[in-house]
Amino acid sequence: MKFSEIIGNQELARQIAQIIDEGRLGHAILLDEMPGGGALAFALAIAQYINCKNRSNFDSCGSCPSCLKIQKSIHPDIHFAFPVNTSSKVSKSDKNPISDLFLPIWREMIAKSPYFTESQLYNEIGIDNKSGNISAYEAKQIINKLVLHPYEASHKVMIIWMAERMNLVAANKLLKLLEEPSPDTIFILISNNPDKLLPTIISRCRAIKIPPMDISQLAKILEDKTSSKDRAAICAKLSGGSYGKALQLIDYQEESAESEELIISIIEVGLRKNFEEMYPLWNKLADLKKEKQKEFCIKSEEVLRRLLMIKNGLNDIAFIEEERLEKFTTLASKIKDDFFPKAVAALDKTLSAIESNVNSKLTFCDLCNRFLLYL
Looking at residue 119, what is its pLDDT? 82
Residue 229 domain-assigned (yes or no): no
Residue 16 domain-assigned (yes or no): yes
Looking at residue 221, what is its pLDDT? 59
What one-letter code names the amino acid at 373? L
pLDDT, the chain, mean: 86
Distance separating alpha carbons of residues 135 and 149, to the nearest angstrom: 24
Distance separating alpha carbons of residues 38 and 22, to the nearest angstrom: 24
Residues 152 and 289 both lie in one domain: no
Looking at residue 223, what is its pLDDT? 57
Distances, alpha carbon 193 to alpha carbons 178, 293, 333, 361, in Å: 19, 19, 34, 27
Distance separating alpha carbons of residues 210 and 56, to the nearest angstrom: 23
Looking at residue 92, what is its pLDDT? 57
C-beta neighbour count of 274 within 10 angstroms: 12
Residue 147 domain-assigned (yes or no): yes
Read off the CATH number of the domain in which 161 is found: 3.40.50.300
Looking at residue 252, what is its pLDDT? 39
Each residue's pLDDT tens digit, 32-70: 988 767 899 999 999 999 999 999 999 999 999 999 999
Domain range holding 101? 3-211
Please give the distance of CA 184 from its chain centroid, rounded to a whole number: 29
Looking at residue 72, what is its pLDDT? 93
Q: DSSP for 225-257?
A: TS-HHHHHHHHHH-SSB-HHHHHHHHHTHHHHH
Q: Which strand (E) or helix (H) includes residue 13? A: helix 10-21
Residues 125 and 34 both lie in one domain: yes
Residues 192 and 289 both lie in one domain: no
Looking at residue 211, what is its pLDDT? 84
Among candidate residues 178, 211, 244, the one where a domain is terminated? 211
Looking at residue 369, what is its pLDDT? 94
Residues 66 and 175 both lie in one domain: yes
Q: Which residues pair with 186 in a beta bridge?
A: 157
Residues 56 and 191 both lie in one domain: yes
Which residues lie below 8 Å from residue 238, measured CB to CB, with a gap of 6+?
212, 215, 218, 245, 246, 249
Residues 64 and 194 both lie in one domain: yes
CA count, 13 A, side-chain hemisphere, 142: 33
Residue 216 domain-assigned (yes or no): no
Per the structure, how many domains does the chain have? 2
Residue 336 domain-assigned (yes or no): yes
Looking at residue 220, what is its pLDDT? 61
Which residues lie below 8 Å from residue 200, measured CB to CB, with a gap of 6+?
175
Distance separating alpha carbons of residues 31 and 214, to the nearest angstrom: 19
Residues 171 and 274 both lie in one domain: no
Please give the distance of CA 254 from its chain centroid, rounded to a whole number: 20
Among candidate residues 211, 232, 261, the one where a domain is terminated? 211
Please give the distance of CA 66 from its chain centroid, rounded to a whole number: 28
Give the residues of the chain that fall short of pLDDT 50: 228-229, 231-232, 236, 239, 248-255
Residues 179 and 308 both lie in one domain: no
Residues 259 and 204 both lie in one domain: no
Among candidate residues 161, 191, 211, the one where a domain is terminated? 211
Residue 225 domain-assigned (yes or no): no
Residues 177 and 297 both lie in one domain: no
For the entire predicted model, the pTM comes to 0.73
Residue 311 domain-assigned (yes or no): yes
Looking at residue 246, what is its pLDDT? 55
Residues 160 and 268 both lie in one domain: no
Residue 247 domain-assigned (yes or no): no
Residues 317 and 170 both lie in one domain: no
Read off the CATH number of the domain in which 272 is found: 1.20.272.10
Q: Is 242 exposed, middle or buried (0-12, 13-18, 19+ CB in 10 A)?
A: buried
